């Protein structure tokens, strides 16, 4: 899919050095300090255990992962549409456009390309 086709599908055109991303939901992992044992993670994944707001801190400590939907014309690296990237949790903008959630990230806030 070309950049123009993707922009039309998303309905957004990124400007300057911005990337438009679709963010993946954080997944709990087995982690001793947080108390997420394998059994707890399995119950969260199945939906039999709901994490209260007070425990959201432990989920939010994990890095943010998203898929590139569009990039501006002044990006240096021109990361291809469809590429999964790791990005900063803070300093980004999350917005809902036409009922869908998008993340708008400056190129300098992208940390890595995931394989």
So what's the pLDDT on residue 25? 78
Do 37 and 49 belong together in one domain? yes
State the CB neighbour count (10 A cutoff) for residue 108: 10
Q: Tell me phi and psi for residue 55, to 5 degrees.
A: -95, -5
pTM reported for the whole predicted model: 0.70
So what's the pLDDT on residue 3? 53
- Residue 58's pLDDT band (cuts 50, 70, 90): low
Count of domains forming the chain: 2
d(CA 103, CA 69): 10
- Residue 82's pLDDT band (cuts 50, 70, 90): very high
Do 10 and 49 belong together in one domain? no
Mean per-residue pLDDT over the chain, rounded: 81
Is the pLDDT assigned to residue 70 strictly greater than 80?
yes
Q: Give mean pLDDT, residues 63-68.
A: 88
DSSP conformation class of 45? H
Do 79 and 109 belong together in one domain? yes
Which of 61, 80, 107 is the last residue before a domain boundary? 61
Do 78 and 115 belong together in one domain? yes
Name the helix (H) or strand (E) containing 68.
strand 64-71
Which structural domain, as residue segments, surrounds residue 33?
27-61
d(CA 115, CA 99): 29
Give the rounded percent of residues in the chain with a pLDDT score beyond 70. Answer: 74
The CATH number linked to 114 is 2.30.33.40
60 neighbors 90 (Cβ within 8 angstroms) = no
So what's the pLDDT on residue 99? 84
Q: Give mean pLDDT, residues 11-34.
A: 80
Do 16 and 41 belong together in one domain? no
So what's the pLDDT on residue 69? 93
């Amino acid at each position: 899919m070309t950049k123009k086709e993707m922009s039309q599908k998303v309905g957004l055109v990124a400007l300057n050095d911005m990337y438009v991303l679709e963010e993946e939901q954080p997944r709990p992992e087995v982690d001793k300090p947080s108390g997420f044992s394998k059994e707890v993670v399995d119950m969260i994944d199945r939906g039999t255990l709901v994490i209260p707001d007070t425990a959201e801190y432990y989920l939010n400590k994990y890095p943010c992962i998203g898929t590139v939907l569009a990039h501006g014309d002044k990006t240096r690296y021109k990361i291809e549409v469809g590429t999964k990237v790791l990005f900063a949790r803070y300093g980004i903008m999350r917005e809902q456009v036409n009922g869908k959630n998008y993340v708008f990230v400056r190129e300098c806030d992208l940390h890595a390309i995931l394989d």
